[in-house]
Amino acid sequence: MRLIALEEAFWAPGLKTKGMFTETKPPWRPELLERVVTRLTDFTEHRLPEMDRLGVDVQVLSVGAPGIQAQPDADIAVSDARLANDYLAEVVGKHPDRFAGFAALPLQDPERAVTELRRAVEELGFVGALVNDHTNGHYLDEPQYAQVWAELERLDVPLYIHPSPPAEPWSVIAGHPVLDGPLFSWQATTGGHAMRLIYGRVFDRFPGARIILGHMGEFLPLQLSRIDNIHRMLDLPELPDRTPSEYFGRNIAITTTGVFSHAVLLAAIDAIGLDNVMFSVDYPYDDSEKGVEFIRTAPLSPADLAKVASGNAERILKLHR
């Protein structure tokens, strides 16, 4: 069975923007930190051999969180995005059958972000873009990003919205820093970002735009029944054209990143449809062996499993063998 993993991180040497694992250190066990740091900038010593051993055919690579979005200086963000994309294009060029790329976008300057997106797709051959949630507190439903959505729609490529540290401290997690990260806050805030796009009517204005959410949809698929129910109670002048659940599949797909639960997988498929769920691991942060075992043993028919494992990614990203 062919396996394509979509949310797999790297870090480019020479970036002026600070990386979460390259300059700062989350409160992880030392051996895990060392593993992540050594693998973010590696492609041949650890990454490809592990992919070969586990049977992962393709990784779609992207700059790790918080990535370019954390850079306060727009000029540096533009140069860092270009550097990261050129570096990634070189890596993909050396291993075109094993790697593909999501572009880093300097959303600090939307006009130059459009230019870089166009270059990354049309010249470098990338299959989409990835942004790490907000850009210095700005979200993608804001008016200045309309040109970015228009270009994504024109190029017919998806935008992966990946988690990142929240823009402002949450009082609900104050005093519990362990909650400020992938344990809880990242999923909640990234799911909130997607809800902003729905209620900001981004997909009504750009019906051909598509986003991808990791981690089984950042809490949203399993809450869609309640979200739709509350939506129907609203009496507001500027509601989306459809119920929130109707944007899943039409404009929103998800990956399994880091959620290695068959119960959640089946529930997500039931909620948003088989054609909108794609396999991912979250390399090098999460355990590839667990991720591959999870997908290979999933209680799906061979045809359905093939869609989640690779077929949906091939279609959505236009990945050709």
Question: What are the Cα distances from residue 14, in Å, to 18, 79, 84, 88, 259?
Answer: 10, 11, 9, 13, 32
Can you read off the two tokens belonging to residue 253?
Answer: 């797909």
What angle, 0 to 180 degrees and rounded to 10, lies between the N-to-C axes of helices 146-155 and 110-122?
A: 10
Q: Helix, strand, or coil here: 130?
A: strand
Q: In which residue are the tokens 């790790």 written?
A: 64
Write out the H or E segment, with its range, that includes residue 62.
strand 58-63
Instruction: Give 247-261 as a DSSP string.
Output: GBTTTEEEE-TT---
d(CA 179, CA 58): 32
DSSP state of 166: -
**Which residues share a beta bridge with 100?**
60
Catalytic residue among 80, 133, 282, 286: 282
> What is the identity of the amino acid at 134?
H
* Residue 318, number of CB atoms within 10 A of its CB: 13
d(CA 262, CA 139): 32
* Residue 209, number of CB atoms within 10 A of its CB: 24
Q: In which residue are the tokens 């990003």 written?
A: 145
Can you read off the two tokens belonging to residue 113?
Answer: 């972000």
> What is the identity of the amino acid at 9?
A
Is 282 assigned a catalytic role?
A: yes
d(CA 64, CA 77): 15
Q: In which residue are the tokens 């490529």 written?
A: 157
State the catalytic residues.
282
